[in-house]
């Protein structure tokens, strides 16, 4: 099989020598790292290789990433993955390049990234391949290859641009909200992206974030979402 970075369910089944139903079952339980896009599952080959090689065992037991990886249903709330230094509600950049640089600088100042310069280059390289804008004024910038060289710890960087930035979105709309997944571990990367995507499917979430007047209000919004969706999920899998 041709080696690709992103695999379909069928391709992963061939790669692991399992049937497709088994792959889907393992992905749904969180045993295999994957992201559901619409009705289809997609898998990052590097994350799969890390899973096979047991890279999870190299994570410190005191690291939040370790707890996140062991949580099959991703119930760890985003409010635990975001703090005030990780939030920028007044992005000054007016271009995509400027936005990526500002995100990288925010990550370094927050103690999440080792080097804003290196992170910026990784983010720019990813955007040159395909825009991370998902439409409806939202983008999820992230590096192709997260590693301990890029990130010190797992966090989510959130940024808001009131004027909006042309980000080559599929709907051609300007992007106002940016969520950057930060993790040193490939295995966690897709799960964290899925966690962000889950948040962004919440009804009226865009307008709530856009109308927030402070970082504390952002946390209130996250906690509100978590009370509605996270607790029932925890109870269902208790």
CATH code (residue 159): 3.40.930.10
Give pLDDT, residue 99: 97
Q: How far is CA 143 from CA 19, 120, 128, 129, 147, in A?
A: 31, 9, 11, 11, 9
* Number of compact structural domains in the chain: 2
- 104 and 16 together in one domain: no
Strands (DSSP E) found in the chain: 6-8, 35-37, 40-44, 87-88, 133-135, 138-139, 155-165, 175-182
In a domain, 91, yes or no: yes
- 38 and 150 together in one domain: no
Tell me if residue 175 falls in helix, strand or coil.
strand
Give pLDDT, residue 68: 55
- 178 and 219 together in one domain: yes
Task: Say if CB 143 and CB 122 are below 8 A apart.
Answer: yes
**What does the pLDDT look like over 130-168, one tens digit per residue?**
999 999 999 999 998 888 899 998 899 999 999 999 999
In a domain, 82, yes or no: yes
Check residues 224 and 120 and name the one with the higher pLDDT: 120
SS3 content of the chain, % helix, strand, coil (to 5): 50, 15, 35
Cα gap 106→96, rounded to integer Å: 15
**What does the pLDDT look like over 78-128, one tens digit per residue?**
788 888 999 999 999 999 999 999 999 999 999 999 999 999 999 999 999
- 136 and 208 together in one domain: yes
Cα gap 218→212, rounded to integer Å: 6
**Structure tokens belonging to residue 114:** 């080792």
- 172 and 220 together in one domain: yes
Length reported for the chain: 238
Orientation of helix 45-53 relative to helix 186-200, angle to 10°: 130
Cα gap 174→65, rounded to integer Å: 32
| Cβ burial, residue 233 (10 Å; 0-12/13-18/19+) | middle
Entry pTM? 0.70
């Amino acid at each position: 099989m041709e080696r690709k970075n992103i695999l379909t369910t069928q391709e992963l089944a061939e790669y692991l020598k399992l049937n497709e139903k088994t792959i889907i079952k393992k992905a749904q339980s969180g045993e295999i790292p994957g992201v559901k896009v619409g009705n289809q599952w997609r898998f990052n080959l590097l994350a799969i290789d890390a899973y096979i090689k047991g890279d999870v065992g190299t994570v410190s037991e005191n690291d939040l990433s370790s707890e996140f990886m062991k949580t099959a249903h991703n119930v760890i709330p985003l409010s635990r993955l975001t703090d005030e230094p990780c939030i920028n509600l007044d992005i000054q950049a007016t271009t995509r390049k400027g936005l990526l640089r500002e995100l990288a600088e925010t990550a370094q100042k927050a103690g999440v990234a080792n080097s804003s310069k290196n992170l910026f280059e990784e983010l720019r390289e990813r955007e040159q391949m395909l825009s991370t804008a998902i439409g409806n004024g939202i983008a999820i910038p992230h590096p192709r290859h997260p590693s301990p060289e890029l990130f010190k710890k797992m966090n989510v960087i959130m940024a808001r641009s009131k004027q909006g930035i042309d980000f080559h979105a599929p709907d051609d709309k300007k992007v106002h909200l940016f969520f950057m997944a930060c993790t040193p571990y490939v295995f966690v990367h897709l799960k964290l992206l899925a966690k962000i995507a889950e948040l962004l499917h919440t009804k009226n979430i865009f307008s709530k974030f856009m109308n927030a007047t402070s970082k504390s209000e952002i946390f209130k919004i996250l906690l509100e979402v978590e009370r509605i969706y996270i607790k029932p999920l925890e109870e269902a899998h208790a």
